Amino acid sequence: EIVLTQSPGTLSLSPGERATLSCRTSQSVSSSYLAWYQQKPGQAPRLLIYGASSRATGIPDRFSGSGSGTDFSLTISRLEPEDFAVYYCQQYGSSPLTFGGGTKVEI
Amino acid sequence: QLSESGGGLVQRGGSLRLSCVDSGFSFTSYAMSWVRQAPGKGLEWVSTISDSGGNTNYAESVKGRFTISRDNSKNTLYLQVNSLRAEDTAIYYCAKALYYYDSSGYQSPYWYFALWGRGTLVTVSS
């Protein structure tokens, strides 16, 4: 099983600042089979990024993903008030599919 | 577009049947999955079924106890959950599961989750 470790656990920032979230995998994830999701309190997760760097439909371009192998990151260039949420990474290169423990981005 | 139902309070060892209705027009084109989230915890993949229903995959933690199925004529996904344990307490989300195609056109072996329902809560009491 591939273990995904997200850091930091909590990121305290202000609107307008840049956020960089990390996701490290215990084994190399082939062909960038990594996705990122956003979850707000009481809501379902929403897909942000797939293929490590491709934005999902309707996702603003302030969200970007990068990385390969075992090190991936999600960057939010300028935080908007609606971006304060929990973010999860997920690998789909091997079974079982696994998620990271999440990073909470708070004000 | 995805709407789950069927959750509730059940005793340990009991059973439930969860449903997920897709009100869109492309249900038969996608694999579908169940992902759960224990209260205050992270996300855990549970199971996926192919677009035709011919192939299924399960997490080890539910294998032999949960059964995923679909009725494409009703745009509905199901999860039969049996022999429930306290650790099965969670919100169960259904999700559209997509393959990723890289720049060479090579298909990913597994799926990411493009669209999620709002979830249905399953609570197992001891």
User: How many CB atoms are located within 10 Å of the residue A68 CB?
Assistant: 14
Taking CA–CA distances from B94, the nearest residue in chain A reads A44
Q: What is the pLDDT of residues B8-62, one digit of tens each?
A: 999 999 999 999 999 988 899 999 999 999 999 999 999 999 999 999 999 999 9
Residues of chain A in contact with residue B118, where contact means CB-CB under 8 angstroms, are 43-44
Inter-chain contact A99–B43, Cβ cutoff 8 Å?
yes
How far are the Cα atoms of B3, B51, B68 from residue B76, in angstroms, in the given order? 9, 12, 11
Residue type, B91: I
CA distance B121 to B4: 9
Average pLDDT over residues A68-97: 96
Rounded Cα distance, A31 and A28, in Å? 9
Whether A88 sits inside 8 A of B43 (CB atoms) is yes
Tokens of A25: 């995998």
pLDDT tens-digit readout, B92-117: 999 999 999 888 888 888 999 999 99
